[in-house]
Amino acid sequence: MLRTACGRLIACMIAGTMLFGCSSRTNGPPEGKAGKPAVAVEVFRASSAEMTEGIDVVGSLSPKFQADAKAEFAGIVTQVYVAEWVKVQKGTPLAKLDTRELDLMHQKTEAAAEESKAAVIQAEVAQNRAEREHIRFVKLKEVGLVTKQNLDDAATEKDASAARVSAARAHLRVSENELRQMQTRLSKATIRSPMNGVVSQRNVNVGDLVGDFVGNKVLFHIVDGGMLDLTLTVPSNQMGALRIGQPLTFSTDAIPGKTFTGKVTFINPAVNEADRSVRIIADVSNDSGELKAGLFAKGRIITGKRSGVLQVPRTSLVSWDVMKKQAEVFVVRGEKVNRLAVRTGSVSSDLVEVSSGLTPGDLVVNRGGFSLRDGDRVKVVQGNGR
């Protein structure tokens, strides 16, 4: 009896399990897993166009022309005529030193020069008298009224008077040179601007002792802001493309949204051994005065132009090795993408040359491809050539 009851219970459990299994297969989801959803991407149609080649550079601006004004001899500053940031012309008075002692010395040398002039006049008068006496004695000797000794004495006096005139004139030249020297020294007591520009620094005040006794410090620093030098560095492996006269465009964070131009004027013939770079200098016209010396600049030297160059955006490149010029891109083929290897070339702004691996018209994933894999389904939501 007990054995019969257990058998019935087991039979019921088996039947229930089979019924549950059939119910599960009937009501559950369909066999197989759901497919990966399409990835939304933006695309760029690869196309051929003219490409401007160049070298990206960074550097800083500095004045092309600048000068320091100093005192040429020691003295006390009695007047200062200008302040900082004042425009000056070449020869504009900047400051003046005490000239009382120099004035006295100038008067003394001026008097000495006048005395020398008077001495020359006296010597010339004496010379004329001696020459007349010599002529008179020659005529008297012809008629026997004077002796030969008298004639010889007259000739000697004529020669002596000529020598005294020469000495007086030499002494006059010395006196005049001393006077000019003193006048020059006196003029240097007024310190003048050596060039057109702006007073960028003023390091002197009335009462200061300046000149040789105090190290001859810089009193004024004058800067011409109308022309600037942009000093740049270029890697030595790109120096072969550099030429004097090449145009340059650059910008600075101090003046956002504006681009400036320049021209390469100097290429250092020596390479910096520390970083294997070449220093170049470009002329930058600054007539408006917007640019200031010391600003940091980022720019591009235009080295040439080529037409028919296939280009894609930088953002399209995956695993880009700039030095080896290798990269990969995702190309849309129908509803899927293929990951292709490409060779890169020159860079122009945000576009990169593709020398091999693509054909014009290919749709390259520009945005949204960070998680893509080869063969993934995509949905193009935006693009420049879709």
The label of the residue with tokens 């290429």 reads 267
Asked whether the predicted pLDDT for residue 14 surpasses 50, the reply is no
- Please indicate whether residue 69 or residue 211 has the higher confidence score (pLDDT): 69
| β-strands 318-321, 351-356 pairing | unpaired
- Please indicate whether residue 179 or residue 27 has the higher confidence score (pLDDT): 179
Asked whether the predicted pLDDT for residue 117 surpasses 80, the reply is yes
Across the chain, what does the average pLDDT equal? 86
Reported CATH class of domain 41-51+306-383: mainly beta
The CATH architecture assigned to 57-64+225-305 reads Beta Barrel (2.40)
Q: What is the pLDDT of residues 280-299, one digit of tens each?
A: 999 999 988 899 999 999 99
CA distances from 314 to 58, 195, 259, 319, 366 (A): 20, 49, 22, 11, 8
Question: What pLDDT, on the 0 to 100 scale, is given for residue 52?
Answer: 81
pTM of the model: 0.64
- Please indicate whether residue 12 or residue 206 has the higher confidence score (pLDDT): 206
The answer to whether the 41-51+306-383 and 57-64+225-305 domains have the same CATH topology is no
Domains of the chain, by residue range, sit at: 41-51+306-383, 57-64+225-305, 71-98+196-218, 99-188
Question: What pLDDT, on the 0 to 100 scale, is given for residue 81?
Answer: 96
Asked whether the predicted pLDDT for residue 3 surpasses 50, the reply is no
Q: What is the pLDDT of residues 340-380, one digit of tens each?
A: 999 998 887 788 989 899 989 899 998 877 788 888 888 88
